[in-house]
Chains A and B, each alone.
Chain A
Amino acid sequence: MVLAVRSAQLGRAKQIAGWLAATMTLGTVFLVIKGFEYHHKWVHHLIPGEGFHIAGTTDPAAQTFFVLYFCMTGLHALHMIVGLGLLAFLVPKALRGEFSAENHNWVEGVGLYWHFVDIIWIFLFPLLYLLGRHHA
């Protein structure tokens, strides 16, 4: 993403589109991995509700954790889908040469949004996947 912004600052239209597409590819890979992860949770009865079941615990906190897990990762995925939509909107604009060194606020703005979503994941990853792991 930053390399797309950099290309925009230098007014290199084709490069902007290339880096935006690269960002979209990596973003999509992330969402596909999330999809497999959700499917895995489904298969193992980890969706909160009637069918929820973890071997060896009846602690209601376990369900609370998975409610938080799905809300947080789901909202993050939604943010990413919005981001991918914005990137998809910018690629043809970049290819048409609409951005230049003097006019690329769209690229800068979407870049800021994308990195904001990035920061959310920097905090969600340790909170949801790592804390408490040293007990296991």
Chain B
Amino acid sequence: MSTVHVTPVRTYLLVFFALMALTLLTVGAAHVNIAHHLPGQMTDAINDAVAMAIAVTKATLVILFFMGVWHSARINKVVVWSSFFFLFVLFAFSLADYFSRGWLGVPGK
């Protein structure tokens, strides 16, 4: 741990304020029906997608800076990003079930 990188306080403050700004943005965006303001036929799901996109951005900032992945060894980056990739795969499989359940008529339902 002797070659550890010490991040300047300025970076942490910038990340903190970015996280706060994104929190305000996601709260603000939640009160707007985004589909109404876009051309074409957009579904309501656009609001959910925007909220999740902001959450992913915030999580990425926390992982990169607060968890120190930005300045860590390449092997650590491989482990971290592949872990999140497989977590995403697990979520995707679970959600595929929820999304597709209504597609086929179930007798007796």
- Chain A to chain B: the 7 pairs with minimum beta-carbon distance, closest first: A130-B30, A126-B51, A134-B33, A133-B30, A122-B58, A115-B66, A119-B59
Pick the contact of A115: B7, B52, B67 (CB < 8 A): B67
17 A-B pairs (CB sep. < 8 Å): A2-B66, A6-B9, A6-B12, A102-B1, A108-B68, A111-B67, A115-B63, A115-B67, A119-B62, A119-B63, A123-B52, A126-B26, A126-B30, A127-B51, A130-B27, A130-B30, A134-B31
A132 to B48 CA separation, bound complex (whole angstroms):
8
Asked, given contacts A6-B6, A112-B67, whether A134 binds B32 with beta carbons under 8 Å apart, the answer is yes
Binding site for B on A (CB under 8 A): 1-3, 5-6, 9-10, 102, 104-105, 108, 111-112, 115, 118-119, 122-123, 125-127, 130-135
Query: Chain B residues with Cβ under 8 A from A108's Cβ?
Result: 68
Other CB < 8 Å A-B pairs besides A1-B66, A9-B6, A131-B47, 19 of them?
Answer: A2-B66, A3-B9, A6-B7, A9-B4, A115-B67, A118-B66, A119-B59, A123-B55, A123-B59, A125-B23, A125-B26, A126-B30, A127-B51, A130-B51, A132-B47, A134-B32, A134-B33, A134-B44, A134-B47
Least CB distance from A2 to B in Å reads: 5
**Would you call B2 an interface residue if the criterion is a C-beta within 8 Å of the partner chain's C-beta atoms?**
yes
Q: What's the Cα separation between A108 and B67 when bound, in Å?
A: 9
Count contacts between A and B, CB distance < 8 Å.
69
**Chain B, interface SS category:** helix
Q: Which residues of B contact A130 (CB under 8 A)?
A: 26-27, 30, 51
Residue from A1, A104, A115 having most chain B Cβ neighbours under 10 A: A115
**Quick check: A131 and B59 within 8 Å, CB to CB?**
no
